[in-house]
Structure 1
Amino acid sequence: MRDPGHTAKTDGPMARPGPEVNDGDPTHVCRVLEAVQALAPLIAAQRNAFDSGRRLPAAVFAALADAGLFRLWLPQALGGPELSPFAFMRVVEAASALDGSVGWLVGNGAGMSRIGGYLDEAVAREWYADPRAFVASATGAVGTASAVAGGYRLSGRWPFGSGAHHATRFMGLASVRPDDPASPLLCCYLGRADLTILDNWHVSGLRGTGSCDFEARDIFVPAAHAHPFLGLQPTQPGLLYRMPPSSVFAWSICGVPLGIASGAMTSFTELAKGRSGNRAALRDRETVQATVGRTRAMLRAARALLVDAMTELMAATDTGGQRLVEARADIRIANAHAAETATSVTEMLAASAGAVAIFETCALERAVGDVRAAAKHVAMSPNNYVTAGRLALGLDPGTARF
């Protein structure tokens, strides 16, 4: 199956021209990573409130926004850093190592800043003039967008609006014919005053993300505040905005499970140094040493597969054709594999820690719940293996949403 949006002939799977992408000023990327680490004391001090409030405390959200962590993919032309996918993943992974909920909102919020590459520039500038702008998005349901003069009348209810309590804008998928699977999907953007947030985020992991449902009833959405979900035309020249949006969407959160697992390794390492009574420290046990070595290899291998898949996706974007279709499928299985691996790593470390890992005061207890929750996202679903498997077997992918 050829991608209708990319019809150029491929030179074969081994041809990997160097993609033109902004890798970002290394000094700037280092500053961003330093800013993430500087937030560690605040996050640690406020962490208990993540659970009781089922959202990030206002002080933590404001600190993340003020550090620029929700606009990492905003185009340079609009004053943003427009980080490369690799630098972006490093930042999301670092934030997730501090706390899964923090990393999840950095990935989601910063990931949505890429809409600056699709919207009319004047609209994007207006929305991101607010230094604490945050767009909560939901693709788990489809609302109804009735075409009217100048735009659409939008109604619907969307789940998993991560960061809803702090968001300045909301994106919900909609269709002019939601009962027709062939009807094109639209990304429709609403202001905070246009909708109702339903406080229903009662979960076992990523509790601090406040990923509540939100609902709109017959709200006017100007045409300039909507764009196609698939096949949209970028308004900025960067490769980031030319890449398949569904692939970039999936990449925006792929660093979260890896970061949670990395944080779990750090927590376990500290835990393993301690002694209990007359018993030897965990780190002195050969089985524990083997587990740490194995999980380290697992995590690095999963990260390497993600980097390899993204490198190919970037190279295939302007080549198009079957090469791009396969690259899109491969980025999804890399995501699924990373999530599975991060879950296994975190659970292996928790098992090695023993009974202490069931206490809420233990960082491993939170990490297990958070990584399991993150891995449930559709971008990391095991169903992604089906799509890649179908292509490898000479079948069509079975879906356009990958």
Structure 2
Amino acid sequence: MLARSPGRVADYLDAIAQLAPLIAKHRDAFDTERRLPDTVFNALADAGLFRLWLPRAFGGPQLSPTDFMSVVEAASMLDGSIGWLVGNGGGMSRAGGYLAEPVAREFFSDPRAFIVSATAAVGLAHKVEGGYRITGRWPFGSGAHHASHFTALASMKDASGNEEPPRFYYFRRRDVVIHDTWRVSGLRATGSCDFEVRDLFVAEQHAHDFIGVSATQDGVAYQLPAVSVFAWTVATVPLGVARGAMNAFVELAGRKARQGQVTTMRDRDIVQSNYGRADALHRAARAFLIDAMSQLTAALTEDGPRLIEARAVFRTACTHAAETALRIADLLAAETGTGSIFETSPFERYVRDIQAATKHIAMSPNNYVVSGRVGLGLDPGTFRF
């Protein structure tokens, strides 16, 4: 399958559907290898799923936020790790909208380019002639084993010793040491290992601001606040995994009877009620998430209370979506019974993948505190929201 140029969302959804048999074939290796098999990663890359936010100027589709969400959800329905890497990799292709054009063209000349990112500002940068010297070790490098480039936040002090706002610095794969730290319960195939550089020179053109970054390309994805756009790439995953669990439950309920009963699960009133409840929960949380993103994009041209409120409510929607996905997974697993705890059951994977995804800071319960403060007329209490 050739790398895709700009196309309709339907093309990506069709590509994901065609990849389902390949993913099912290799799924057992997801847990044992704790990374995607090369065959699966390359198939995703060749389908263009790591270029979803690449600017049109570089041959990318430059999807809208809601179209991006639809594609990530579809990938997440197949498998949580697949969705997580499509969200992260496809999301980080937006680097083409921040970097200088020659640098962006160089990075994405590889049709299988995949940029791994870390947003914890735990690195240190020192200004030198022509660029910076960077040292740091960052956790949660999703897709690290398949990266072409890495980017991470690092802090720097000015001449007076005052800490400046962190910036993003980009590294080549050959300059990075990957530490095998990803021994976890859920999202195991994301290979989200620590990565490290020591006293690495990074040219000025391979760095840009984090807060208030100036876009080099036109497009909504490049105008969104940095913290918000990072949240969107991961908060869209749990609802997709939950819908995958719902689809699996429909198939199971049509053929299985609970122990001691003759009728299939789907013929029981309680099962019908709980599935209907799960569907309502999913639709409501998804609608809230989309509405919050719509309100945020509508407020981008402003720099005042409306934008602050929109950013705070958006983060609430991310947390609400995560909590809803957890509730749906627990509800369906309870209906499935003890069968859901076996590794042979898809529900076992759905549950632990959702549990792992929702631990991400983008979906932290603290987001309710921020939106609550703003709603009560207080300041947000943090700049990262």
TM range (shorter): over 0.9
TM-score, structure 2 length as denominator? 0.95
- Which of 218, 227, 232 is equivalent to 2:208? 227
Change (3 A) 1:339 1:181: farther
Offset of residue 285 of structure 1: 1.4
After superposition, the C-alpha distances for 1:226-268 in whole angstroms (9 at most, x for unaligned) are 1111011110122221221211111112220011000000111
8 Å CA contact retained: 2:84, 2:190: yes
Distance 1:372 1:141 in 2: 25
Distance 1:181 1:362 in 2: 54
Tell me whether 1:257 sits opposite 2:238 in the alignment: yes
Distance 1:145 1:390 in 2: 34
Tell me whether 1:314 sits opposite 2:294 in the alignment: no
- Structure 2 counterpart of 1:87: 67
Q: Which runs of 5+ in 1 are unaligned?
A: 1-23
- Which of 107, 117, 132 is equivalent to 1:137? 117
Tell me the SS of whatever aligns to 1:147. Answer: strand
Offset of residue 141 of structure 1: 4.3
TM-score, structure 1 length as denominator? 0.91
Offset of residue 280 of structure 1: 2.1
Offset of residue 275 of structure 1: 3.3
8 Å CA contact retained: 1:326, 1:388: yes
- Structure 2 counterpart of 1:148: 128
Change (3 A) 1:343 1:181: farther
Tell me the SS of whatever aligns to 1:176. Answer: strand
- Structure 2 counterpart of 1:370: 353
Offset of residue 123 of structure 1: 0.2
Distance 2:57 2:305 in 1: 32
TM alignment of 1:250-399, pairs within 5 A: 250-276=231-257, 279-399=262-382
Between the two proteins, the alignment pairs up a number of residues equal to 377
After superposition, the C-alpha distances for 1:276-328 in whole angstroms (9 at most, x for unaligned) are 57632111211111000000000000000011101111110012311111111
| Structure with bigger RCO (C-alpha 8 Å, 6+ apart) | 1
8 Å CA contact retained: 1:89, 1:254: no
Letter in 1 for 2:244: G
- Which of 76, 96, 104 is equivalent to 1:124? 104
8 Å CA contact retained: 1:72, 1:110: yes
TM alignment of 1:53-92, pairs within 5 A: 53-92=33-72
After superposition, the C-alpha distances for 1:347-372 in whole angstroms (9 at most, x for unaligned) are 11001100100010100000000000
Distance 2:215 2:31 in 1: 39
Letter in 2 for 1:200: T
Offset of residue 181 of structure 1: 9.1
- Structure 1 counterpart of 2:180: 199
Runs of 4+ in 1 over 4 A off after TM superposition: none
Letter in 2 for 1:284: D
Tell me whether 1:189 sits opposite 2:170 in the alignment: yes
Q: Report percent identity of matched pairs.
A: 59
- Which of 93, 104, 108 is equivalent to 2:84? 104
Distance 1:334 1:280 in 2: 39
Offset of residue 389 of structure 1: 0.7
